[in-house]
Structure 1
Amino acid sequence: MARVRYGARSPETLSKTAKDRSVLPEIWSTGVVALWETDPEVIAAVLPPPLVPADRPLVRANISACDINGYPLGAGAIAVRAKHGDVEGDYTLTMPMTTERAVIGGREVFGEPKKIAEVTVDRDGDDVVAKVTRLGVTYVEIRGRVAEELPLPDPRQTLSFYYKFLPAVGGDGFDADPMLVHVTRNEKHRSAFRIDGEVILRDSDFDPVADLPVRKLVSITLGERTSDQQGFVAEHVKADLVLPYIHQRYDDVAQISDEPPAPGDPA
């Protein structure tokens, strides 16, 4: 019988696949990172318990491009600064990706809020433009000019928070209590530049990043970096605490008509 590729794989093949996956090559990406302060109450509104706002109301937009074994990948992340207990990290609201493979892996393993989008980083001389476009709307655009080369940042470890869950088969709630996942990344850089520029947020019904207005632009940088990634389940969270935020993950048409709470109403 000819090989049936949908058939079960042997224990030897599974073992080799797991071993190969555990040793990833260094993949360098070129990315633009913008950091800004927004309204504290906005960050408080988007955080599912038990996450709470960090001391400073920061938003980070990271838009990158890289090449993986000859296949181009555009990747982004828009996150707000948060705390889980005494630990501070980024709670990521959306992670636009250009390939289905990049979306599925991160969503199913770590609960990363990934969606297919057009993600581009272009440099023409000193002019830099990074964009995320989805469903006809370029909802994040970072543009500017290289102002100076920066000293290479020291290697560092970053922390991101994600909720991993599956909507219930019956359509109401979840199949099980969501898991709050901590993902750490060890980053290192081989180039870094300061950018003089601006962050442009455009309204999108399905990716409402414009609700995180730029009140004070902290920095825009351009650089080449690589990182690894490890995750673990930090806590199981009661379903009713996370359910009001499930629309962050999906293209829920109901959120088009969402309105901010009236003064004095619970968020």
Structure 2
Amino acid sequence: MKRYEYTILPEYSPLYPSLPYRYKDYQKVSVYCRGDRKGLQQFLPKEFELTSDIFEVFVLQNNEIEGLDLYSEGGVVIPCSYKGINGACVAFEYVDQDDALCAGREIWGYPKKLAEVTFDVNEGNITGSITRRGKKIIDINFEKDSKEVKQPVLSPRLQVKRMPHPEFKGTDLNTIIKNELQDTEIKRKVFGNATLNIEESAEDPLSELGVKEVIGAVYIEGAFTLTYGEIVENLK
């Protein structure tokens, strides 16, 4: 039996391979919304400070990945800062495969959950949705338009990687991580407008983001590499 040099479990049959992961072909629709500052701040880790009331809601379909099983995802990205580092935090994230779920949570601290993801392109109209436990928590309908939208600062990603302690109530691991996509390539970019519907859910309270208006949307086809991040600080 082949042995693996991994620090993840089980070492004899790992759920996901070692980094990097190369996303060779993806399609993504992003909706940029103006939200309530208080509503946005509540979904950031307590260590982070909100830097803008414009945030992103997205749905992404992967067509070719080197490293992970093919999966799709969606979520919410909120601009923030930590001790002078400006970036954005993925506050909600949903995927439809378990290896992507565990790799994201265990390596970088992304708050991934399993959900159903749909993505459909029909000429200038694009729809994407995230459904979890019977609730359609993200529902996007995109239409091509000539109006460009100014996108907020959404990179690098700033995440808090927390793990519960096995002996008592508290954290065993509590780390601020900075992560940036590498070798990014935009093959196609189309601006447009979009409608965004969020169904109320107690377990996934995206409806509390306080969306005031949709200021624009963009559809992208591209590629990138996902690799190791940087530990900014180990918290107590």
Q: Distance in 2 between matches of 1:148 and 1:107?
A: 37
Q: TM-score, normalised by structure 2?
A: 0.83
Q: Distance in 2 between matches of 1:232 and 1:148?
A: 38
CA drift of 1:171 comes to 4.8
1:39: which partner in 2? 36
Q: Which of the residues 175, 194, 200 maps onto 1:197? A: 194
Higher strand share: 2
Q: TM-score, normalised by structure 1?
A: 0.74
1:108 maps to amino acid:
E
CA drift of 1:24 comes to 4.6
2:92: which partner in 1? 94
Higher CA-based Rg: 1
Structure 1 residues 156-178: Cα deviation after superposition (integer angstroms, max 9, x where no partner) = 992111111211213511124x0
1:212 maps to amino acid:
L
2:62: which partner in 1? 66
Structure 1 residues 114-172: Cα deviation after superposition (integer angstroms, max 9, x where no partner) = 1111112111222211101111111111103222497xx9xx99211111121121351
1:217: which partner in 2? 214
CA contact (8 A) 1:81 1:91 kept: yes
Aligned alpha-carbon RMSD (Å):
2.8
CA drift of 1:103 comes to 0.6
Structure 1 residues 19-49: Cα deviation after superposition (integer angstroms, max 9, x where no partner) = x955654511001011111011122223223
Q: Distance in 2 between matches of 1:32 and 1:26?
A: 16
The 1:196/1:23 distance shift into structure 2, 3 A limit, reads closer
Number of residue pairs matched by the alignment:
221
Higher helix share: 1
2:140 maps to amino acid:
I
Moved over 3 A (4+): 8-11, 20-26, 68-72
Provide the identity percentage. Answer: 16
Structure 1 residues 39-68: Cα deviation after superposition (integer angstroms, max 9, x where no partner) = 1112222322321110x2122112110123
Q: Distance in 2 between matches of 1:25 and 1:59?
A: 26
CA contact (8 A) 2:138 2:197 kept: yes
Q: Distance in 1 between matches of 2:231 and 2:206?
A: 27
The 1:122/1:171 distance shift into structure 2, 3 A limit, reads farther
2:60 maps to amino acid:
S
The 1:149/1:124 distance shift into structure 2, 3 A limit, reads farther
1:179: which partner in 2? 175
CA drift of 1:72 comes to 3.7
CA contact (8 A) 1:35 1:61 kept: yes
Higher relative contact order (CA 8 A, sep 6+): 2
Structure 2: tracts of 5 or more residues without a match: 12-16
